[in-house]
Structure 1
Amino acid sequence: MPAPVTRQAAAVRPAAVRPAAVRLTAAAAALLTVAAGLVVTYAGSGPVAKPVGDCLYTVLLHTLIVAAAPRVRPLPAAGLAFALSAGVELAQLTGLPAALAGRSTLARLVLGTTFNAPDLLWYAAGAALAAAAHAALAAAARRRRGGQARKTPTDARFGSNQTSVGSFSPNASRRAERSSGWQRTARRRPRRRAVRPARRSSLSRR
Structure 2
Amino acid sequence: MTARGEVFLAALGPDAERLHPEILAQMRAPAGVDRAEGVFTVAGSRFGRLGILALPVVGPRMLVTRFGRDVPFSLRTRAGRTSSGRATLDTTREFRFPGTTQFISDRLTVSVVPGLVRNLLGARGRVELIEECSVTAQGALRMRTRRIALRLWGRRFALRGILGISVDLEDGWDEAQKRRTIEMRATNPLVGTILEYRGWYRHRDEDQLTPQ
> TM-score range with shorter-chain normalisation?
under 0.3
Q: TM-score normalized by structure 2?
A: 0.24
Structure with bigger helix share is 1
Bigger Rg over Cα: 1
Structure with bigger strand share is 2
Q: TM-score normalized by structure 1?
A: 0.24
